[in-house]
Amino acid sequence: MPEASSTKLASTADFDRRDLDWYIDKVVQLIVFFAGISAIIFIIGIFVFITMEGLGFLFEDFTFKEFFLSPFWEPSDEDAPEYGILALIAGTASVTGLAMIVAIPFSLGAAIYIGEFATGKVRETLKVLVELLAAIPSVVWGFIGLSIMNPLIIDLFDVPVGLNVLNAGVILGLMAAPIMTSIAEDALKAVPDRYREAAEALGATRWQVIFKTVLPAAKNGLLGAVLLGVGRGFGETMAVLMATGHAVNIPGSLFDPVRALTATIAAELGETAVGSPHYQALFTIGIFLFIITFLINLTADLIVRGIRKG
């Protein structure tokens, strides 16, 4: 019975082909699953590897009191090295703080203008410009601080050196503002149009709609934008390395040079021996930075999610 056997053969081949596709499908599903969880693996990996490198310091030379409360960062002192990051925290905090004072009003103002007032071509153009501003690399910003802001500050305020809190704060503010503007504009866009329509139907002007309806509704998203800006300023490296003056110092005025946590790692890692206490202390600063930014990002995420649910 040749006919029957050939039918049987055909159906087996059919079955095999489907079978192969089925297996391919499962294998692909497995591959993309592992790719999907790679972000989690990397985050854990980052924490594990920097902790591993910093572990020796944490067990031997690390004391909580000295590390967080001493303003002396003198890791290369032969006799009595000191590993205090208080001045570095003060440096990072002062620069980030000034950057936020510069960036928050402008980025929120710009977000409101782009999101609520501007229309059509103007709006598109402004959005593109903001996106391009956000793309300028941080080393270029640092160079701008060094070569353009520095002489400008010396001229304007009659100080001997222009690399200080003011310089780095303004640079960092200009850097963070475009990113905060886009996130804040997204938060305004997330407010449903029916809120605006309802307010307008009651006779509110555009400004009243924004001030009484849109802003309260977008409050959490805007706060999230600000927090992400803070995280950004906190973690910025090259710009603060080049524009702060890089002197370990608790600043007393805008014109004092400071040194940031991130910049310390960038400046010193190259000149330390792998495995030395100094090297491990730099990784310990890394752990601290990782935890702080993790908490900032987590908080921002929770705040933004909060409104989505509500």
Partner 1 sequence: MFAESDLNARNKRVQGLFRMLFLMMTVLLIVPVAIILFTLVSKGGGVISIDFLFTNPTDGMTAGGIFPALLGTVWIVAVALLASVPLGVAAAIYLNEYAGDNWFTRLIQLAIINLAGVPSIVHALFGVGAFVIFFGFGTSILAASLTLAIMTLPIVIVSTRESLRAVPQAFREACWNMGATRWQTIRRIVLPNAISGILTGVILEVSRTAGETAPIMFTGAAFFLPFLPQGVFDQTMAMSLHLFVVATQVPGVPEELPFGVALVLIAMVLIMNSISIAFRMYLRGKKKW
Helix (H) or strand (E) holding 44: helix 2-59
User: Left (φ > 0), alpha (ψ -120 to 50) or beta: where does 122 sit?
Assistant: alpha
109 vs 192 by CB, closer to partner 1: 109
User: Residue 159 in contact with residue 149, Cβ under 8 Å?
Assistant: no
CB of 263 to partner 1, least distance (A): 8
Closest approach of partner 1 to the CB of residue 252, in Å: 26
User: Of 159 and 287, which CB lies nearer to partner 1 in the complex structure?
Assistant: 287
- What whole-number distance in Å separates Cα of residue 110 and Cα of residue 193? 20
The angle at the Cα of 114, spanning 103 to 129, to the nearest 5 degrees, equals 70
Nearer to partner 1, 106 or 195 (CB): 106
**Least distance to partner 1, CB of residue 242, Å:** 6
Residue 73: exposure state from Cβ atoms within 10 A (0-12, 13-18, ≥19):
buried
Strand pairing report for 73-74 and 82-83:
antiparallel
Nearer to partner 1, 107 or 249 (CB): 107
Q: How far is the CB of 4 from partner 1 (least distance, A)?
A: 26
Taking the complex as a whole, the smallest distance from the CB of residue 115 to partner 1 amounts, in Å, to: 10
Task: Answer yes or no: are the C-beta atoms of 249 and 259 closer than 8 Å.
Answer: yes
Q: Which is nearer to partner 1, 22 or 68 (CB)?
A: 22
